[in-house]
Structure 1
Amino acid sequence: MNPDGVQMTASGYIAELRALVGTRPLILPGSSVVIVDESGRLLLMERADTGGWGLPGGFMEPGESFEDAARREVREEIGIEVADLSLLGVFSGPEYYYRYPNGDEVFNVTAAFLARASTDAVFRPDPGEVLSLRFFDFERLPPDVLIPEQLIVSTYAAMRGQPR
């Protein structure tokens, strides 16, 4: 909540920080979700904000847990509910630096989770966040998977014994 007692969203919180620090690097916690189908294919979304392919996910809102952020981001971005999440790992460090097209710089601290998509899941991608959405075989991932998420995808692939 902000000083006026109003619940803040991640974008509102980050906007307030950006008003104070400009585009300087921020350390921002968030969640990503590796979603696979029954065939073991990986769900990726072509992101509207940065271009390139990535995992559903985003920054935490003040007072939110990593798990709650993961569920909320999946719901907001691709329109499905995920109940069972298992922690894949926490990812941080210099390789999680990202500079957005508008010049904002961040060092991501990302809790990555694994979830399964049911065969009857009906995806409703948010067109403001998602240009396209599809499942990929690990042998045929697009070349422009976002750099901060490549290690998450590689970690999952190694865990499952898949090439990447």
Structure 2
Amino acid sequence: MSNYIMDLRSIVGNRPLLQVGASVIVEDYKGRILLQKRSDNHCWGYSGGSVELDEKVEDTAKRELYEETGLTANSLELFGIFSGKDTHYVYPNGDEVSNVDIVYICKDYSGKLKMQEDEVEQLKFFAIEEIPKEISPPLKIALNKWVDGKIKKQ
């Protein structure tokens, strides 16, 4: 969790916060998606995290991808911005957020997979038909849009 969000949490406790995040859907050369099993809710999702004060959103996306997976994004393509009731979430610790998630696609990356052990339980590439059902709730809308786009191209 970012320092900015942690600082706010020390003041407001678990009350709802508007949280701006930057996320990355990584696709490999086979068209598979990289997902990580989160250690906070034990659900699968793509890499991402909170934007720090004065940080560029693209820099957040690249930073979070590297921290969580060990991969460096060589280029990013804006996929979409997701917000509203479908991205509202209460974490297992009781922290409540209304997310604005700015999601990028990354097909051009380098590095070797290395998970961030305090946030990630597992990293794995999945074909569309293999994507687990246990998706982190605030990420479902974006992930479903990605899947729908891939199916339409087939």
Question: Per the shorter chain, which TM-score range?
Answer: over 0.9
Q: What is the alpha-carbon distance in structure 2 between the residues aligned to residue 18 and residue 125 of structure 1?
A: 26
Matched, 1:134 2:124: yes
Residue by residue, what CA displacement relative to the aligned partner does 1:45-70 show, whole Å, maximum 9, x if unpaired? 00112211010111011111111100
> How far 1:148 moved relative to its partner?
1.1
Q: Which runs of 5+ in 2 are unaligned?
A: none
The runs of 4+ residues in structure 1 deviating greater than 6 Å are none
TM-score using structure 1 length: 0.87
| TM-score of the two chains, using structure 2 as the length reference | 0.93
* C-alpha distance in 1 between matches for 2:106 and 2:44: 18
Match of 2:50 among 48, 54, 59: 59
Deviates more, 1:154-163 or 1:47-56: 154-163
| Kept after mapping to 1: 8 A contact 2:75/2:108 | no
Partner of 1:151: 141
Aligned with residue 77 of structure 1, among 68, 76, 79:
68
Does structure 1 conserve the Cα–Cα contact (< 8 Å) formed by 2:70 and 2:111? no
Aligned residue in 2 for 1:108: 99
Matched, 1:27 2:18: yes
Query: Percent of pairs identical after alignment?
Result: 38
1:3 corresponding residue in structure 2: none
Q: CA deviation at 1:138?
A: 0.8
Structure whose residues are more often strand by fraction: 2
CA distance in 2, matches of 1:52, 1:105: 17
Aligned to 2:84: 93
Shift of 1:101: 0.8
Deviations 1:108-158 (A, max 9, x none): 10000000155x741111111111000111112111011111111111122
Distance 2:152 2:121 in 1: 27
Q: Contact 1:38–1:117 (CA<8 Å) still a contact in 2?
A: no
Maintained 8 Å contact 1:138/1:162: no
Q: What SS does structure 1 have at the residue aligned with 2:104?
A: strand
Pairwise CA RMSD: 1.6
